[in-house]
Amino acid sequence: MKLEIGNFHVKDVCFGTETSFSNGTLIIDKQAAIDYIKEDEHITTCDIEIAKPGESIRIVPVKEAIEPRCRVNADHPLFPGVTGEVHPVGEGRTHALKGCSVLAVGEHWGSFGDGLIDMSGEGAKYSLFSGLINICLVADTDEEFERHEQQKKNRALRWGAHRLAEYLGNAVKELQPDDIEEYELDAITKRSAEVNALPSVVYVLQGQSQMEEDGYNDLVYGWDMNNYLPTLMHPNEIIDGALISGSFMPCSSKWSTYDFQNNPTIKELYKEHGKSVNFLGVIMSNLNVSLEQKERSALYVAQIAKSLGADGAILAEEGYGNPDADFIACFVALEDAGVKTVGVTNECTGRDGQSQPLVALDEKANAIVSCGNVSQLIRLPAMERVIGELEALSRDGLSGGWSGDEILGSSVKEDGSIIMENNAMFCGDQVSGWSPKTMTEF
């Protein structure tokens, strides 16, 4: 499979009379884009705002992030099974608007899996998205059944953001990109002797799939991953729209759709393929509820890796707490199968950093890259402007915010400053490979 991603480097985004791209500037016909989004009758109010790096802007509650893209050589949707019919991805040409993202932002109501982004100041260092130009779809919906639920599916708003990302991406469908990235792997059984002589590596992704009711979990080709079993996937499928993010996960631990599209570990493995490693592909796994399910999935992953002849594995989990049991079970099963494994995860060590870092531990899990402590307290000054609603951080049960604490008070102060746990920083721990944080054992 050969995938070409044609990159258009976005230097500025502004509103105009026609949605187009020229000389590094993405121009958005705001009303036309809003009319397109409001074709979904469940979106009751809708606006689009632009947030740029360095501006005194706080964005909350953020529910999803997507890189604007389009397919060039086929009339297929960007996200099969979500924005259109199911079809294979990972081959052909896709155009991408780099340096920007589409954010789904609640006009009012937040939920457990939502987060916060600061575009400047001390808070900017905690999120990759502070360095991007963010096109914020700020909307409310008629999903009254979950209005006051702490855990929301946020379906209409998340789907609206995916549609907007595709709508904007089509602005460059017929244009010549600034540069083209190529991603191609020979079939595993057709590789040269030189490549086969290198250490063979698989990348194991444990996507969020704990919720037994449909609508909360990550989707693969539009299919809820709670119904999923570990499967070998081509890495091109991952970065070309086969997966989208779910709404259930403390936000710093979540993988947005943008993270799937730009997974840096996959890109690094591609760079090293044929040089230092033989990159076999991605084992897409799941996260389960019962212990039996966790053990079964771990055995599936180990069997696939062993059957492929993997010498090593990189194992990454989305989330913490209950998913730690899946993470360690998979770690142990891989090691027992003779596959040397390195894990990538964040930790939940408490606000004082003294608690056990993972719910489950095993001596065989002896090589783990930490992406930081989800419970770390973060204090940030007020911003000049808020996109969304700041009160959502304290009022609506965001995983790192609270309405009242006997010592710390409310997460949102009267002057607009905030105190929160890292949990609420939007995709802040970046387990997919570009976390700015780590922990060191001395």
pLDDT for 249: 87
Q: Which residues pair with 279 in a beta bridge?
A: 201
How does pLDDT run along the chain (442 residues), one tens digit per residue?
A: 899 999 999 999 999 999 999 999 999 999 999 999 999 999 999 999 999 999 999 999 999 999 999 999 878 999 999 999 999 999 999 999 999 999 999 999 999 999 999 999 999 999 999 999 999 999 999 998 888 888 999 999 999 999 999 999 999 999 999 999 999 999 999 999 999 999 999 999 999 999 999 999 999 999 999 989 999 999 999 999 999 999 988 999 999 999 999 999 999 999 999 999 999 999 999 999 888 999 999 999 999 999 999 999 999 999 999 999 999 999 999 999 999 999 999 999 999 888 899 999 999 999 999 998 999 999 999 999 999 999 999 999 999 999 999 999 999 999 999 999 999 999 999 999 877 776 666 5
Packing angle, helices 30-37 and 155-169, rounded to 10: 140
How far is residue 104 from each of residues 289, 295, 358, measured CA to CA in Å? 28, 35, 30
As a three-state string, the secondary structure of the chain is CEEEEEEEECCEEEECCCCEEECCEEEECHHHHHHHHCCCCCEEEEEEEEECCCCCEEEEEEEEEECCEEECCCCCCCCECCCECCCCCCCEEEEEEECEEEEEEECCCCCCCCEEEECCCHHHHHCHHHHCEEEEEEEEECCHHHCCCCCCCCHHHHHHHHHHHHHHHHHHCCCCCCEEEEEECCCHHHCCHHHHCCCEEEEEEECCCCCCCCCCCCEECCEEHHHCCCEEECHHHHHCCCEECCCCCCHHHCCCHHHHHCCHHHHHHHHHECCCEEEEEEEEECCCCCHHHHHHHHHHHHHHHHHHCCCEEEEEECCCCHHHHHHHHHHHHHHHCCCEEEEEEEECCCCCCCCCCCCCCCCCCCCEEEEEECCCEEEECCCCEEEECCCHHHHCCCCCCCCCCCCCCCCECCCCCEEEEHHHECCCCCCCCCCCCCCCCC
Tokens of 314: 């990189």
Q: Nearest to residue 96, comparing CAs of 262, 325, 327?
A: 262
What is d(CA 397, CA 113) in angstroms, rounded to the nearest whole number? 9
pLDDT for 100: 98
Tokens of 401: 């915010």
What is d(CA 143, CA 43) in angstroms, rounded to the nearest whole number? 9
pLDDT for 440: 63
Q: Residues with Cβ < 8 Å from 120, sequence gap 6 or more?
A: 53, 54, 55, 56, 57, 130, 383
Count of beta carbons in the 10 Å neighbourhood of residue 135: 25
Contact present, 266 and 360 (Cβ < 8 Å): no
pLDDT for 148: 82
Contact present, 230 and 300 (Cβ < 8 Å): yes
pLDDT for 436: 74
The residue whose two tokens read 């037994």 is 212
Q: Residues with Cβ < 8 Å from 270, sequence gap 6 or more?
A: 183, 235, 279
The residue whose two tokens read 């081509």 is 234
Count of beta carbons in the 10 Å neighbourhood of residue 215: 17
pLDDT for 18: 97
- Cis status of the peptide bond prior to 61, with omega within 30 of 0: yes
What is d(CA 300, CA 293) in angstroms, rounded to the nearest whole number? 11
The residue whose two tokens read 């970046």 is 430
How far is residue 227 from each of residues 63, 297, 313, 326, measured CA to CA in Å? 23, 12, 24, 16
pLDDT for 192: 97
pLDDT for 302: 98
Q: Nearest to residue 248, comparing CAs of 213, 277, 275, 272?
A: 213
Q: How many CA atoms lie within 13 A of 380 on its CB side?
A: 31
Q: Nearest to residue 132, comparing CAs of 44, 43, 31, 54?
A: 54
Q: Nearest to residue 365, comparing CAs of 377, 357, 375?
A: 357
Contact present, 349 and 438 (Cβ < 8 Å): no
